[in-house]
Every structure is written in structure tokens, then in C-alpha cells.
Amino acid sequence: MNAKSLLLLTFFISFSSLAMWFDGLERDLNGVKPGVTIAGREVERLLPGEVRQVVMELALQYHRYPVEPRIDKASGRIIPEKDGNLLDVVGCQEMIMNAPAGAQLEVPLLPVKPRYSSLELAAAQEVVGQYQTWVSGSSDRHQNIALAARGVNNVLLWPGESFSFNDTVGPRTPERGYLPAPIFLLGAQVMDYGGGVCQVASTVYNAALNAGLRIDERHAHTRPVHYVPEGHDATVAYPYLDLRFSNTREGPLIVKSGLSGGRLWVKIMGRSK
């Protein structure tokens, strides 16, 4: 190594040592005090920018979205809401920077309340709209109606939310238990999987009408049907023709549906006032 290279190496080492000395001095003056931890994580001597990075990582780790109350689809039981958590980023950073030496800090979490309460669901016990139709036809048609009615049962709609029959019931396929039964296609009666499901859609439609809800989409059959008066039917064909309506009331609505005594019934539960 020549003298020039040796001089450059000596200068580099001296400069690096000086930079490390200044860095250590800045950490002693402006960094977190020695021995400070937060949630078991060591943060001593970290500078403000580094502390902010730690706080952002903690925010991602501890953030929890609130869970709204809901209805158990199978039983109709109310499942209560859960609060969420939100880390106070600014407050957390200030707390760390101002902590005394050896402090063991906990993450400062702010509670985030759900938008709705299970008490609102418990209050939705009045029938605000209902309708029933008589079920006839083959056992396969009965099974299709029972499957669709089960899909509609215990559906929750918060204010402003929309009901979609197709999204709620899903495709009417053999893999999902639907059987061939008569349907109307281009004015003719043919056999297809899910025949009879339109009776469920029509019953839901009339219950929604009786509840005074806004109908967003509804299609008539190409021929009159026997289970509702003319003009009160609603045909559906997944995924093209749908029945949709919106909860225009102030409180939640719960759609109930079932079969009893040869009748298909739909009730829309809510608060009358």
C-alpha cells in the first residue's frame, strides 16, 4: 500500500469514527432514554424517525376493526358486536420519546366502537311486512323452494343496505342440491334446475312491498303464475334476472322465511316506529 492509499484509509477511518461519535452523541441527547421498552420491544436510544417506524409497525400489529352485530344464519341468534382497537400513533411516539430511563410501556390503544348495536337487532321484533303463498307441485319443486327459503331466512339488512335474491340464495345448481322442476322460458314451460325458486322470490317481493320498501329490481314472468295475483310475481334467473330492494327504514330489518302447513311464508322484522 502506497502512502497516498494509506493516507486515504486513515482519513476514512477517522471520518467514520467521527461520524459514529456524532451519531452516539445525537442519540444520547435526542434519542429514547436507556432501557425503555414498549410491548416488550427495546427502543432505547432510537431517534424520532426510527421511533415513528416502530410505532407504525405496532399500529399494524395491534389494529383491530370493530365487528358489527349479526344474525346467526342457522339459528337466528343475535351475535353481539365487538369493539375494535386503533393505536394512537402521535401519542405513542410522544410517550416513547418522553419516557424516563428503564420505563416499560404498554401500547396506547383507542377503542373503536361498531356502528351498530345488538340492542338494535333485539328491538327488531315486529312484523313490518309479510306475505305467504301456497306450495304445490312435485317433491322436487318442494325441495327447491325449501332450499331457497332457507337461503333467504335470517338475512340482516342495516339501514341503506340492499337485498339481492341472487346474491343471497346463490346459483341454483345440482351441486347445491337443486333438482329439475318446471320453469317458464320464453313463454314455454320447460324443466330446469331450481324450478319453483321464483315462488320464493315472488313471496319475498310481496313482503317487501307490504313493508313499504324501495324495490330496485324486479322482473315479471312471461306468463301469469298461479301462486300470486297477476302483476305481483318476481322471476329470477341467476345471474341475469334479480330481485333487489333496499332497507329505507331507520332501523335494521331481518328477513325470515320458512315452510309450514303447505305454505311458504316470508316475514320482514323491524321496528314499527
Would you call the peptide bond into 239 cis, given omega within 30 degrees of 0 as the criterion? yes
Mean pLDDT, range 249-270, rounded to an integer: 97
Compute the distance between CA of residue 249 and CA of residue 195 in angstroms, rounded to an integer. Answer: 33
Bigger pLDDT: 120 vs 187: 120
pLDDT (tens digit, 9 = 90+) per residue, 153-202?
999 999 999 999 999 999 999 999 999 997 766 565 666 778 999 999 99
Predicted pLDDT at 149: 98
Cα distances (angstroms) measured from residue 205 to each of 121, 152, 267:
22, 12, 11
8 Å CB contact between 171 and 182? no
Count H helices, E strands: the chain? 7, 16
Mean pLDDT, range 9-15, rounded to an integer: 48
pLDDT band at 33 (very low <50, low <70, confident <90, very high): very high
pTM for this prediction = 0.82
Bigger pLDDT: 9 vs 82: 82
Instruction: Name 190's bridge partners.
Output: 183
Cα distances (angstroms) measured from residue 235 to each of 32, 37, 139, 146, 173:
68, 64, 21, 17, 17
Q: Which of 244, 235, 219 is nearest to 164 (CA)?
A: 244
Predicted pLDDT at 190: 63
Predicted pLDDT at 6: 46
Compute the distance between CA of residue 45 and CA of residue 53 in angstroms, rounded to an integer. Answer: 14
8 Å CB contact between 58 and 95? no
Mean pLDDT, range 100-106, rounded to an integer: 95
- Round the average pLDDT of the chain to a whole number and report it: 89
- What is the gyration radius of the CA atoms in the chain, in angstroms? 32
For residue 163, report the phi and psi dihedrals to the nearest 5 degrees: -100, 130
* Residues found in the chain: 273
Predicted pLDDT at 272: 76
Compute the distance between CA of residue 88 and CA of residue 183 in angstroms, rounded to an integer. Answer: 58
